[in-house]
Amino acid sequence: MNSQSLWAPWAGPLRVVRGYPRRAPLTLAYVCLLLVGHAWVMYGLSTDRADSVLGYVSTNLDNLQDHPLSALLGSVLFFDGTLTDVASTDFIGTFITLGLGVCCFLAWAEHRWGAPRAVAVFLGGHVAATLLTALVITVALQHGWYPADVRQALDFGVSYGAQTVLAIGTLALPRLGRLPWAAFVLAWPLGGAEWTTGPLPDFTTIGHLTAAVLGFGLLGVPAFRRQRVRAARLPSAVSDTEPHRGSVAEPASPAAGADAPPSA
């Protein structure tokens, strides 16, 4: 068996890894920032100082009333999970949100639609799900369904934005895999749901489900069903449509410039 046949199974994954910085540079920079922030909080700060930083960026009710922008934006600079305790349920959550949500599907969204639209989906899902969950918490507190200390709960991380991207990333899958994937996106937060008093699960489960619904709702927006036009295609497109010198250009068909939805 020659060396070429030994490397053949790895050719595809290696090609994907080599092309990652070119296809999704903003996502790569964001993942590096998250890893640096995680290392800083876990190993660079004392326990009390780390708790203080994470408490300040938590998107709980008190922080949203006191410093909403700092909480909403600061929260997505860290992820709530572990990279080392691979046998824990926390690592499963990290794998789904950071691994699949950010590293894979946010990168896919950046490559498909461009960085501005990918950021809008991710941050929009994070902010909207957080604010809607805060509204649910407010109502739940009025009915005694949540304990009063939920107002100061530690709640930070990328999971709401990642959940939105996981949902809209259904478009990245073959048609036969879309329904099972949608079921998974909705089901995995319920696996760790906690029920105390009243009809509602814990607020983080509500936040994840809300973010997923927002992502699925974006599937019906035409702008998110079309792939962006790559800049590399423009010269050939211009040369194909530009009339030759001395010839008369024929009128274009009304559907010539229309974007078709991506095929499965």
How far is 226 from 232, CA to CA, in rounded Å? 17
- Whole-angstrom CA distances from 153 to 120, 213, 217, 253 are 26, 24, 29, 58
pLDDT at 232 over 70: no
pLDDT surpassing 80 at residue 81: yes
Q: The tokens of 69 are what?
A: 């922008």
Residue that is written with structure tokens 């010198």 in the block: 245
Kindly indicate the confidence band of residue 238, based on its pLDDT and cuts at 50, 70 and 90: very low
Percentage with pLDDT > 90 across the chain: 67
Asked whether the beta carbons of 97 and 162 are under 8 A apart, the reply is yes
Average pLDDT, the chain: 85
How many angstroms separate the CA atoms of 252 and 257, rounded?
9
End-to-end CA distance of the chain: 37
pTM above 0.85, yes or no: no
State percent of the chain over pLDDT 70: 81
Residues 195-231 pLDDT 10s: 877 889 999 999 999 999 999 999 988 878 777 655 4
Region 23-42 average pLDDT: 96
**Is the pLDDT confidence value at 259 over 70?**
no
- pLDDT band, very low/low/confident/very high, at 13 (cuts 50, 70, 90): low
Q: Looking at beta carbons, which pairs linking 21-25 to residues 24 or more positions away fall under 8 Å?
A: 23/107, 23/110, 23/111, 24/106, 24/107, 24/108, 24/110, 24/111, 25/115
Q: In angstroms, rounded to a whole number, what is the distance separating the alpha carbons of residues 117 and 103?
A: 16
Residues 62-84 have a mean pLDDT of: 95
9: confidence class by pLDDT, cuts 50, 70, 90 = low
pLDDT tens digits, one per residue of 92-147:
999 999 999 999 999 999 999 999 999 999 999 999 999 999 999 999 999 999 99
Of 206, 77, 93, 226, the closest CA to residue 139 belongs to: 206
Helix locations, the chain, DSSP H? 3-23, 25-39, 47-57, 61-66, 68-75, 89-94, 107-113, 115-142, 159-168, 175-191, 203-218, 234-241
pLDDT at 26 over 90: yes
